[in-house]
Structure 1
Amino acid sequence: MNFRFQNLLGAPYRGGNALISENTLLLSPVGNRISVTDLTKSQSQTLPCESSSNISRIAVSPDGTFLLSVDDNRRCLLINLRRRIVLHRLTFKHPVSSLKFSPDGSLIAVGVGKLVQIWRSPGFRKEFFPFQLVRTFADCDGPITALDWAPDSEYILAGSKDLTVRLFCLKKLKTFRKPFLFLGHREFVVGAFFSMEKKNPDRVCRVYTISRDGAIFTWNFNGNECNFDASDRQISDPLSPGTPEQMHDENVDIVSNGRKRKKSSEGNDGNLDEGVWEFALHRGKWELLRKDFFMQASAKLTACDYHRGLDMVVVGFSNGVFGLYQMPDFVCIHMLSISREKITTAVFNGLGNWLTFGCAKLGQLLVWEWRSESYILKQQGHYFDVNCIAYSPDSQLLATGADDNKIKVWTVSSGFCFVTFSEHTNAVTALHFMAGNHCLLSASLDGTVRAWDLFRYRNFRTFTTPTSRQFVSLASDQSGEVICAGTLDSFEIFVWSMKTGRLLDVLSGHEGPVHGLMFSPTNAILTSSSWDKTVRLWDVFEGKGAVETFPHNHDVLTVVYRPDGKQLASSTLDGQIHFWDPIDGLLMHTIEGRRDIAGGRLMTDRRSAANSSSGKYFTTLCYSADGSYILAGGSSKYICMYDVADQVLLRRFQITRNLSLDGVLDFLNSKKMTDAGPLELIDDEISDVEEGIDRQVRESLGHDLPGAMPNHGRPVVRTKCLRIAPTGRCWAAATTEGVLLYSIDESFVFDPTDLDMDVTPEAVDAAIAEGQPQRALLLSLRLNEDSLIKKCIVAVKPLDVPAVASSIPFRYLQRLIEAFADLLESCPHLEFILRWCQELCKAHGHSIQQNSRSLLPCLRSLQKAITNLHQDLADTCSSNEYLLRYLTSSGPKN
């Protein structure tokens, strides 16, 4: 039951801005979650933290420790990126359009509506109210669209929809001064950036402002022509030493969040030192140096970024074209097209050698190295919802099929898709892996069943029918010789030969769509379920047709076998799960699940969630590997886990808390109810407002027609398919949010050995003397001393081997296996070491299978040592056998 969220597959990017932290970690919003991709290790994970709705903006601190995310409901989360936990929460009063940490990490600039708010960045210390508002600038006449910090964290640029860019100074000056305005743009500003001098990287020399119509203005700073009054430089009377005012006025280092931030030479009274007076950005003279245009007349500029070290600008347009330019001469280095859809994010990494682009409408995210013109990462999720999933026999691969006619195969351990099949011309409805692990079957509404070769990545066989049919279910026998598929329109089951591709038989008898199809794990009996309220058993090889029929009182939605083949489970439209004995044909027991799966109310429902009958049934079932429990899901936000023997609910998994989806809330907010209905369903959008991601999706689905979708195209939360891995240690669910992965693997649990402690050989010896073999072994693995590791292995008692083996973190498995390989060649305790290996495989079998490539060298060394040991023992036994025969035959005769 200890399943926890592990990863989210199927949609790498859905909108918002992407970031690259520490040059290699790619952070991108995925609905109401955040995906973290390690570009060097080729691994992708999703943070377990959930926002209340889809995330619109994210920002990361300069040291990569803190992550700030803001969703569509204006709720902000401060996340410790390394610990993957939420530290603080905050709610803004207006929509947040821009978000950025200061270069020293002590401040956060937030564009809240028409305001620019400066907040103090929280740290690790415990505070009653960690977020402290430092300054608020209310000079803009339109919503904020762009923010950028100066390197000294004392000035900030703010672009707005009022077609201007303003320069704000964070220090409170003695004389009031309006912020400097950069004017001249004809559309609202998309980006504004400070540019530094090459000889002095800490000194600002230029400002670039980029507008939506594809114009970039270069502004030059002349610090020699300062504009100030003499009263501003008037030195105030010295303060008494030791007072809080005098301590605050001293030029000392301010420590915030463990980071030192040097105080500016300008005090609270507006005084400046003579050496830096000419470089005060708010007092110098700014002049327009040049105007340049990107010449994309039919497209709008939608995303941009600037790299100060390289003095380069990257821009993305609404037609899928991006450009890379060298500034300030405006020299085009690259101008390429990614797709025909709008680029919603474009960003440099810290070194400036990688460019990240995202397209929200296509769910596309790619990282491109512009010098070598090669892809570092190219991932694209399913355009529509995932309908079906299937695990490979070794649990390392996961295949997904969706309404976008595509099949994607993912590596479970890394979270990456390595192949996409797009030969189907209609929605993919069923997937099935063959026993050999290299062949995948798929069924589609286009009337074909296709077989895919995962070695050569091609479609090597296609199964068709004499007349076009729509397939919604798929099954194969244990030998892989027979392929069966159920139809949606003709209510028939078609049987093909895998070797020849010929149609062998057509099974008729159902009077409704055949949505469930599965072979018995122990014999050649095929079981099918249909909306005609029956479950039928077919003898495919003998050609006897329907062997037995199990009647139900309501439509049967799905059917599944227990792994031992001695039990059959079927789900009906009334919310019940029926368990049958397939041998005797008797009903064993029934689980009533209407109340368990109930929950969530649609915006268009006129009844409460408790009184509504819609969605209170299970559309997908899946047994565990040992058959002790069963998972059930449907048109609800819950996935239920039942104990099969006792027929009790063990646990409910809530697949999402994203309020952007319909069916998540149990009760509607009465404050949002009007005479015309719920406030969310009233279309009061302004026509000249830039179209968002949700509107793009509605247009692509054709739901903007009057009366087509009363809830404005909001997706409804549901679970379409459930599958448990053959190892039994993880399971996957195809939901509206994507493919959710849950696991009980210890590698995803916090490792206590990461704590700071004195790790010495003396500590290892002390742990052994105190009878703590587990702690001693972990300390020796951290020291990585071969002699200490072997000493701690031998010091473990045989009865304690299972407990110690299960507590070893995954990161030390390779080192431990290498030690076992060496011990087998020299240690006399052969049975003891072999038992260690056996318990280690039992405890970490799933992790070893998922990471077999990285563990392959040490596993081969262990296999070689065991093979040599087996050969030596075999030779010894053979020689002893002949010696005993000789001694018995040459002995004295009676």
Structure 2
Amino acid sequence: MADGLVLRGTMRAHTDSVTAIATPIDNSDMIVTASRDKSIILWHLTKEERTYGVPRRRLTGHSHFVQDVVLSSDGQFALSGSWDGELRLWDLAAGKSARRFVGHTKDVMSVAFSVDNRQIVSASRDRTIKLWNTLGECKYTIQDGDAHSDWVSCVRFSPNTVHPTIVSASWDRTVKVWNLTNCKLRNTLAGHSGYVNTVAVSPDGSLCASGGKDGVILLWDLAEGKKLYSLDAGAIIHALCFSPNRYWLCAATEQSIKIWDLESKSIVEDLKVDLKTEADAATGGNANKKKVIYCTSLNWSADGSTLFSGYTDGVLLIELTRKMFSRLFIVESFWSQDNDGGRPLINVRWPGYESFYDHFSITFIMLNLIILSIFFTIERVKGFIPKFCFSRPQTRSFNYLKTLFKQSNLTF
């Protein structure tokens, strides 16, 4: 296991591949997962030492694999897409299907809520993208003309409300960007040499990442419709997600989970669980029938502290970040040189307070650490976990923070 993340526990209830993981934006103690066992599970996160969560409800109704699931922003509803060709809207409190969306002629591969939860988009193996309202009425179908020429594997809304867009990925090896207002094509992003399985949009909506058969992640500028650069994952990519509070991109591949720092374009984590094999009584231990288990889905918690990953054997693994010291004491900081090129200027922020410092003293440091620790304790009780981010990659580690203090003739 890599140094930055530590395996915290597992969650077991699905009997087949975990195809999607949805986490709430309020960071509450629940997640929702979809599986090829035809079910959706609402989990309560107990965060116990061995079993990190327990099933609270199992939602059934789809007659085939459930390929995708997402949550509404208020966490009250889940939206699923299945190989039975339908979408379903689920009332999580009641544990029942509230609405069916019928219109696709083949498997539904991907679904998404708009930022305001008023619109729904779906992608299918029938090569179409459909835009729905929450009443289950299809308002527009993207087909023919500029539409994809093969299966549409993934579709997402951009969180950018100024220029609302839909981003889709396809087995025709392209990613397409559509104007949400009229469902017209804005850009076709070409560059992959194999089918594209997945696409993810950054939290600010400025860029997207795509990956699939060729094992290469392409990063795109959504506004300009241009390729920025590529990252080699080395294996088929099944899922991508951006960290909500770090400039990181995570990829689920058939070898491992890889995490890149996008500023340095370097791998910061390569999470290789022991590749398990299936050779139980059902196969009689026949080596020829062994099946390698790999990650098929992943998602971050809203605060970026927890990474959930789902595997082909139905197991979920939960990794926690080890940035606890940084999250405890520094809410947000930026550094640069002062005007005369001398000491570093440190800008420390937390709610209601911001200051620049070019001179440190032990008294000042200790006082601020005490204040910050008190603030953290109060806000943690209230349910708020401060964000942690650095503006430059060289200040993203604790070692570099120590270097800054050494430049001020202090020990830390």
Q: Same fold (TM over 0.5)?
A: yes
Q: Which runs of 4+ in 1 moved over 3 A?
A: 1-8, 597-608, 838-843
Equivalent AA in structure 1 for residue 261 of structure 2: D
Tell me, yes or no, if the aligned pair for 2:279 and 2:290 is still in contact at 8 Å. Answer: no
Tell me, yes or no, if the aligned pair for 2:220 and 2:228 is still in contact at 8 Å. Answer: yes
Aligned-CA RMSD value: 3.4
- Summarize deviations over 1:383-430 as a string: whole Å, max 9, x none: 112111111111110011111101110011110111101111110101
Structure 2 residue corresponding to 1:404, chosen from 84, 96, 101: 84
Q: What is the aligned partner in structure 1 of residue 208 from structure 2?
A: 526
Equivalent AA in structure 2 for residue 482 of structure 1: T
* 3-state secondary structure, aligned to 1:436: coil
- Summarize deviations over 1:237-281 as a string: whole Å, max 9, x none: xxxxxxxxxxxxxxxxxxxxxxxxxxxxxxxxxxxxxxxxxxxxx
1:2 and 1:551 mapped to 2: Cα distance? Answer: 29
Higher relative contact order at CA 8 Å, sep ≥6: structure 1 or structure 2?
2
Task: Write the mapping of 1:819-834 to structure 2, written as runs, cut at 5 A.
Answer: none
Task: Report how far residue 508 of structure 1 moved.
Answer: 0.8
Equivalent AA in structure 2 for residue 390 of structure 1: V
1:581 and 1:45 mapped to 2: Cα distance? Answer: 31
* 1:504 correspondence with 2:181: no
Q: What is the aligned partner in structure 2 of residue 622 from structure 1?
A: 299
Identify if the C-alpha distance between structure 1 residues 486 and 465 changes in structure 2 by more than 3 Å, giving closer, same or farther.
farther
Q: What is the number of equivalent residue pairs in this alignment?
A: 282
1:539 and 1:4 mapped to 2: Cα distance? Answer: 36
Structure 2 residue corresponding to 1:580, chosen from 243, 246, 260: 260
Equivalent AA in structure 2 for residue 562 of structure 1: S
Equivalent AA in structure 1 for residue 229 of structure 2: E
* 3-state secondary structure, aligned to 1:501: coil
Tell me, yes or no, if the aligned pair for 1:615 and 1:634 is still in contact at 8 Å. Answer: no
* 1:479 correspondence with 2:160: yes
Tell me, yes or no, if the aligned pair for 2:90 and 2:98 is still in contact at 8 Å. Answer: yes
Q: What is the aligned partner in structure 2 of residue 709 from structure 1?
A: none
1:496 and 1:478 mapped to 2: Cα distance? Answer: 14
1:417 and 1:635 mapped to 2: Cα distance? Answer: 26
Q: What is the aligned partner in structure 2 of residue 603 from structure 1?
A: 282
Identify if the C-alpha distance between structure 1 residues 840 and 638 changes in structure 2 by more than 3 Å, giving closer, same or farther.
closer
More helix per residue: 1
Equivalent AA in structure 2 for residue 603 of structure 1: A
1:407 and 1:628 mapped to 2: Cα distance? Answer: 31
TM-score of the superposition, structure 2-length normalised? Answer: 0.61
Q: What is the aligned partner in structure 1 of residue 359 from structure 2?
A: none
- Summarize deviations over 1:431-467 as a string: whole Å, max 9, x none: 111110222211111111112211x431122223426
Task: Report how far residue 478 of structure 1 moved.
Answer: 1.0
- Summarize deviations over 1:749-792 as a string: whole Å, max 9, x none: xxxxxxxxxxxxxxxxxxxxxxxxxxxxxxxxxxxxxxxxxxxx
1:390 and 1:446 mapped to 2: Cα distance? Answer: 21
Tell me, yes or no, if the aligned pair for 1:392 and 1:398 is still in contact at 8 Å. Answer: yes
Task: Report how far residue 601 of structure 1 moved.
Answer: 3.8
2:116 and 2:65 mapped to 1: Cα distance? Answer: 28
Equivalent AA in structure 2 for residue 591 of structure 1: L
* 3-state secondary structure, aligned to 1:594: coil
Task: Report how far residue 6 of structure 1 moved.
Answer: 10
* 1:418 correspondence with 2:98: yes
Q: What is the aligned partner in structure 2 of residue 535 from structure 1?
A: 217
* 1:642 correspondence with 2:357: no
Identify if the C-alpha distance between structure 1 residues 842 and 540 changes in structure 2 by more than 3 Å, giving closer, same or farther.
closer
Higher radius of gyration, 1 or 2: 1
Equivalent AA in structure 1 for residue 152 of structure 2: F
1:3 and 1:506 mapped to 2: Cα distance? Answer: 40
Unaligned runs of 5+ in 2: 1-7, 16-36, 44-58, 324-376, 385-412
Structure 2 residue corresponding to 1:592, chosen from 272, 279, 295: 272
Tell me, yes or no, if the aligned pair for 1:7 and 1:45 is still in contact at 8 Å. Answer: no
Tell me, yes or no, if the aligned pair for 1:599 and 1:637 is still in contact at 8 Å. Answer: no
Task: Report how far residue 520 of structure 1 moved.
Answer: 0.7
- Summarize deviations over 1:835-892 as a string: whole Å, max 9, x none: 9xx999749xxxxxxxxxxxxxxxxxxxxxxxxxxxxxxxxxxxxxxxxxxxxxxxxx
More strand per residue: 2
Q: What is the aligned partner in structure 1 of residue 141 from structure 2?
A: 462
Tell me, yes or no, if the aligned pair for 1:453 and 1:460 is still in contact at 8 Å. Answer: yes
1:391 and 1:603 mapped to 2: Cα distance? Answer: 36
Task: Report how far residue 603 of structure 1 moved.
Answer: 3.3
Tell me, yes or no, if the aligned pair for 2:283 and 2:289 is still in contact at 8 Å. Answer: no
1:483 and 1:5 mapped to 2: Cα distance? Answer: 34
* 1:513 correspondence with 2:195: yes
TM-score of the superposition, structure 1-length normalised? Answer: 0.29
Unaligned runs of 5+ in 1: 9-31, 33-43, 47-378, 647-802, 804-834, 844-894
Q: What is the aligned partner in structure 2 of residue 566 from structure 1?
A: 247
- Report the identity percentage: 21
Tell me, yes or no, if the aligned pair for 1:594 and 1:617 is still in contact at 8 Å. Answer: no
